[in-house]
Amino acid sequence: MISASKRILLFIFGSLTSVFAQSTLEQQFKFANQLFTHEKYFDAITELKRLQFFDIDNKFSFQSNYLIGKSYKAGAKFDEAVNYFTRAEMNSENDDDYFTSKIFNARTNILRRTTKQAEKILNELLNDPRFISKEKEINYWIGWNYIFSDEWEKAFEVFNENRLDTTLAELCKTVDDEMYSVNFAKYCSYLIPGLGQFYTGEYVSGTLSLGWNILFGYLTINAFIEDRVFDGIIIGNFLWLRFYSGNIQNAEKFAIQKNLQISNKALDYLQYQYKGEKP
């Protein structure tokens, strides 16, 4: 039988050991946080994973997973960041922790262009009655998600209707106005070869397409008029049809390329010159 005095001593020893361990873990977390603050992200990750190994009671589970996620995100390791933000979400102790980890998960998905997943997360938050007061913040990231989805008109509507950011709203409106209609470029080339290229400003290509189609169209029709059926079939199938279909493909390609240039220019501005909060 253990005497009462020994039981008291064991209790005191256990309590001191627990307090000491807790203090050590707190110091470890503070050290990792300092590394993160000084942008030593992968050193911070190493220290945080070491913290998790010794944190047998999971006292720092949310904080460590959340900071590991932010470190991976800052180091452009987006897949790993999403993984740790999800872990942080699962270990959140209150609504604020849950919301923060979900928002950063969505922001990381925006950056890695898994925009459908980001949309799913943000819509879940938007429909969660616990976060009605966070609606403005959620919509802000929904607008950014539309930007990275190349849906500039929808992004403009979100930023403008919710009065979130006039600079972003104006930029999205400008980009949407500058965008070319891929379908118009494609289908108008069915009617008049070269018209789609003219629409996208590719005048040389448009002139050549129109000229070649007129030439081989004339030669094909003329061959049939003169009863040179074989010549008409050869010219029509292998020359006129080739230039006609090529004209449609080129019109579509030019519209897509021009839109990509416009979009990339806007994203470049957002990355290097926009001063507001970014994903």
- How would you write the pLDDT of the chain (279 residues) with one tens digit per residue? 445 554 543 444 343 334 434 578 888 888 888 888 898 989 988 888 888 888 888 888 898 899 999 999 999 999 999 999 999 999 998 999 999 999 999 999 999 999 999 999 999 999 999 999 999 999 999 999 999 999 999 999 998 887 888 889 999 999 888 888 878 777 777 777 777 777 777 777 767 776 666 665 556 566 566 566 555 455 555 555 565 666 777 778 878 888 888 888 988 888 888 888 888
**Which CATH number goes with the domain that contains 29?**
1.25.40.10
Verify that 154 and 202 share a domain, yes or no.
no
Verify that 119 and 155 share a domain, yes or no.
yes
pTM: 0.79
Verify that 76 and 169 share a domain, yes or no.
yes
Has residue 95 been placed in a domain?
Answer: yes
Which of 176, 192, 211 terminates a domain? The answer is 176
Verify that 39 and 163 share a domain, yes or no.
yes
The pLDDT of residue 232 is 47
Has residue 5 been placed in a domain?
Answer: no
The pLDDT of residue 267 is 86
Contact 252, 258 (CB under 8 A): no
Query: Cα(60)–Cα(243) distance, rounded to whole angstroms?
Result: 66
Q: Per-residue b/e over 125-161, b at no fewer than 16 CB within 10 Å? A: beeeeebeebeebbbbbbbbbbbbbbbbebbbbbbbe
Verify that 160 and 231 share a domain, yes or no.
no
10 Å CB burial of residue 275 (0-12, 13-18, 19+) is exposed
Token reading at 30:
């503070």
Contact 35, 47 (CB under 8 A): yes
Verify that 132 and 156 share a domain, yes or no.
yes
Q: How many domains does the chain have?
A: 2
Residue with tokens 């030593």: 40
Has residue 43 been placed in a domain?
Answer: yes
Domain holding 259, by residue range, is 182-270
Verify that 101 and 172 share a domain, yes or no.
yes
Which region, left, alpha or beta, applies to residue 150 given φ > 0 means left and ψ of -120 to 50 means alpha? Answer: left
Which of 176, 205, 238 terminates a domain? The answer is 176
The pLDDT of residue 15 is 39
The pLDDT of residue 13 is 35
Q: Report the chain's C-alpha Rg in angstroms.
A: 31
Which of 176, 208, 226 terminates a domain? The answer is 176
